[in-house]
Amino acid sequence: MSHAWRPVFVVLAVVAAIVVMRVILVPSDFTAKDGDYKYQWHRLSAEQVSKDFTVKHRGRDFCGQCHPNHIEKMKDSGHQNIQCENCHVMYEPAKKSHPINLKEDFGYLLNIGIDRSRELCKRCHAELSYRPKTYTSSKGTEKFKQIDPTKHNPGIECAMCHDVHSAGFKTAAK
Ligand code: HEC
Ligand code: HEC
Ligand code: HEC
Ligand code: HEC
């Protein structure tokens, strides 16, 4: 047999190996759903995996069941679109201070507490060269109020002066 056939056998062996590996590696339910060969190639059982995923953040309606006043206070404020969990979820369990155990009765998995640090507010309000100075709301273009934390009352917690929920100021009557 001519030595010229040898590379042909190598190529055939590689193709056979690829076909065998594909059968072994690709899950049996990997198909083009509804015959949509352009976008719908996926493992069908992955849909159930996503549905079974436990959602941890529940949004303000969940907190509002027991904290209606806070919902009311934030309603027309600059903070109206910010979820309670954005400020109150504590990623260090040691900082948890919620008096009611939300895990037992509600299956709620996050730790709720209070963070009074300047860092919390700087996350959104510190002036940064790449942070947009305006934003678009239902009323049109509005100014996104930012401060230079090195000049704006340094060393004092923001919550000493500002009412964090109404995004205004604390008053003597409070
Ligand atoms: C089943 C009712 C219930 C739910 C649901 C609930 N809370 Fe509370 N929460 C309470 C009660 C009662 C207190 C104690 C009285 C108070 O401060 O209003 C409290 C206190 C707090 C405090 C003060 C903690 C402290 O250290 O003084 C924060 C902050 C808080 N809740 C945030 C939340 C957030 C955010 C959610 C939604 C993720 C939430 N709560 C959901 C009942 C609830
Ligand atoms: C922008 C961040 C932020 C958001 C959004 C926010 N909180 Fe707070 N919250 C704080 C801070 C900071 C304090 C501590 C305030 C202080 O010491 O004056 C606090 C205090 C509290 C307290 C203790 C009692 C009080 O009023 O001081 C409760 C209860 C509470 N928040 C519930 C909520 C709920 C419910 C929501 C959503 C409807 C919410 N918060 C949204 C930052 C936030
Ligand atoms: C997740 C982002 C976010 C966080 C965190 C946040 N804010 Fe805001 N804040 C906003 C947005 C958005 C507005 C509305 C746009 C504006 O008025 O600049 C706003 C508005 C304000 C205003 C201006 C209200 C007015 O009408 O002049 C104050 C004051 C304020 N926030 C204080 C705070 C303080 C204090 C904290 C920390 C407890 C805080 N914010 C945390 C996003 C945030
Ligand atoms: C000692 C009290 C005090 C402290 C502490 C304080 N502020 Fe203020 N803040 C004010 C006063 C007074 C104004 C209004 C006058 C001004 O713009 O300086 C204001 C205005 C603002 C505004 C609106 C600026 C604008 O363009 O209209 C924002 C946003 C703000 N503060 C965020 C913060 C944040 C975030 C912190 C913490 C990092 C903080 N403040 C700490 C007193 C305080």
d(CA 34, CA 30): 12
Task: Determine what percent of the chain is predicted with pLDDT higher than 70.
Answer: 98
Asked if residue 64 and residue 127 are part of one domain, the reply reads yes
Give pLDDT tens digits for 53-95. Answer: 989 999 999 999 999 999 999 998 989 989 999 999 999 999 9
Give pLDDT tens digits for 103-155. Answer: 998 999 999 999 999 999 999 999 999 999 998 878 889 899 999 999 999 99
| pTM given for the model | 0.88
Residue 38 lies in a domain: yes
Residues 6+ positions from 106 with CB-CB distance below 8 Å: 62
Centre of ligand 3 from the C-alpha of residue 144, in Å: 8
Q: Is the CB of 87 under 6 A from ligand 2?
A: yes
**Domain limits at 9?**
3-52
d(CA 122, CA 160): 15
Asked if residue 89 and residue 27 are part of one domain, the reply reads no
Residue 41 lies in a domain: yes
Lining ligand 4 with CB less than 6 A are: 118, 121-122, 125, 145, 147, 149, 152-153, 156, 158, 160-162
Asked if residue 123 and residue 78 are part of one domain, the reply reads yes
- Determine whether 149 is exposed, middle or buried from the number of CB atoms within 10 Å of its CB (0-12, 13-18, 19+): middle
Number of domains in the chain: 2
